Structure 1
């Protein structure tokens, strides 16, 4: 459990090149993740996703991630989900309060998303916060949930966490990059390319996963064409404010090269098949046919009643 002093953190920050206060957040996040792993209710029903999952369990922590994004994973009715959700919230908040955190008024619990913000006083004596989000509408997943070991030798921890499958982690990351063009998303996808994380034989499945999440989870209607020029509108001030603080001080991220290489990769990835185009067109007409995206019967069975797909079809 987390018990690092200011002196400890300053030493580790000096050794790793990370900013001390952001480094402290990662230790605190790992403390929460360990609790999620040890609590039977939370371990059974939640899986880590997003940048924290990618940088802690896929990469060897090249950048710090300062929040926790989780999906509820039990395929169940809305009524059953709401009962379990109440129990999850009770256990999570009790743990955080026991650890000395205070609930922020910025906490929001709209519909099927719990967005918890907890205040704490960091080792430097300043007020800081941890954000934990749990999405309950994305509870039917394309691929089976995985258990992954946390990396980062300096963290000195040894436990596994449940995460979305590797392809779903990066499918969600690509979806996020398309929708919000954030520097951290660009950085993570560029690392994915540099480290050859996705095999050649997995590229088609990755594209289908991105299309699926753009349709069921996107803020706009899915499209059969992709304008990737938004990547070039990302300017250095964005990099300086949101990415550089979570990198090692010695790292020199060439974001112009990254934008070019990621855009080229995504342009090649998003060459849609006839059935993929038909899936998107039908979805926009209120017809949900996951079998146009996926041939695997187990995948089709898992997502045939996906809550967001069902909800969006009712709105057509």
Structure 2
């Protein structure tokens, strides 16, 4: 395991409990899939969040910024030597950069695709990550249809190797639900 990625993943796992305290957000993307749904087939090094409620854009952006500032304050109190850069807006996302001497982690909230379809699911950190990083946390994750549908859309849009890897791993959910049924459910709610 590459030490740089291990250090990033370790920092990410230390950050997650403070994010989990904010019920305003739900985790989505590769970190949700690889650390909370599957048993860590790959490391994740950033945190993608979705707001749970959906409201007026101006109000939502102010709330997102406020919640990120609160998270940053708690991180400074609870993680020695962490540096947290104030939220910045880049490409329709509000980002919080968190760093220690060995690693940096981005916390990203999409400001366009706000709100979730359904009810967030409280999921524990996978067993492998618990063992490797000697840590435990739970966080609310967007519903399955939104999580996997979003990953499929990201893979088609970006065609990044890590997204394609995550899509390949979706074969593991075929026993419970076919990918087509997840997409159908997601499309029905839009």
Structure 1 residues 94 and 206, CA, compared in 2 at 3 Å: closer, same or farther?
Answer: same
Partner of 2:144: 166
Distance 1:29 1:149 in 2: 15
Shift of 1:131: 1.0
Matched, 1:87 2:66: yes
* Counterpart mapping for 1:9-24 below 5 A: 18-24=1-7
| Structure richer in strand, relative to its length | 2
Distance 1:190 1:67 in 2: 20
Q: Deviations over 1:67-122 (max 9, x none)?
A: 111111112223432342232122122234443333569x7314852122233211
Matched, 1:131 2:106: yes
TM-score normalized with structure 1 length:
0.53
Distance 2:182 2:134 in 1: 33
Partner of 2:174: 198
Q: Deviations over 1:228-272 (max 9, x none)?
A: xxxxxxxxxxxxxxxxxxxxxxxxxxxxxxxxxxxxxxxxxxxxx
Structure 1 residues 168 and 19, CA, compared in 2 at 3 Å: closer, same or farther?
Answer: same
Unaligned runs of 5+ residues in structure 2 are: none
Structure 1 residues 48 and 76, CA, compared in 2 at 3 Å: closer, same or farther?
Answer: same
Secondary structure, aligned partner of 1:137: coil
Secondary structure, aligned partner of 2:168: helix
Distance 1:200 1:159 in 2: 25
Matched, 1:68 2:47: yes
* Higher RCO structure, 1 or 2 (CA under 8 Å, sep 6+): 2
Partner of 1:117: 97
* Counterpart mapping for 1:173-252 below 5 A: 173-193=151-171, 195=172, 197-199=173-175, 201-208=177-184
Unaligned runs of 5+ residues in structure 1 are: 1-17, 123-127, 213-292, 304-316
RMSD: 2.5
Structure 1 residues 87 and 156, CA, compared in 2 at 3 Å: closer, same or farther?
Answer: same
Shift of 1:205: 3.1
Is contact 2:50-2:116 (8 Å) kept?
no
Q: Which has the larger radius of gyration?
A: 1
Partner of 1:241: none
Secondary structure, aligned partner of 1:143: coil
TM-score normalized with structure 2 length:
0.84
Q: Deviations over 1:276-297 (max 9, x none)?
A: xxxxxxxxxxxxxxxxx42xxx
Count of residues in correspondence between the two structures = 185
Secondary structure, aligned partner of 1:174: helix
| Structure richer in helix, relative to its length | 1
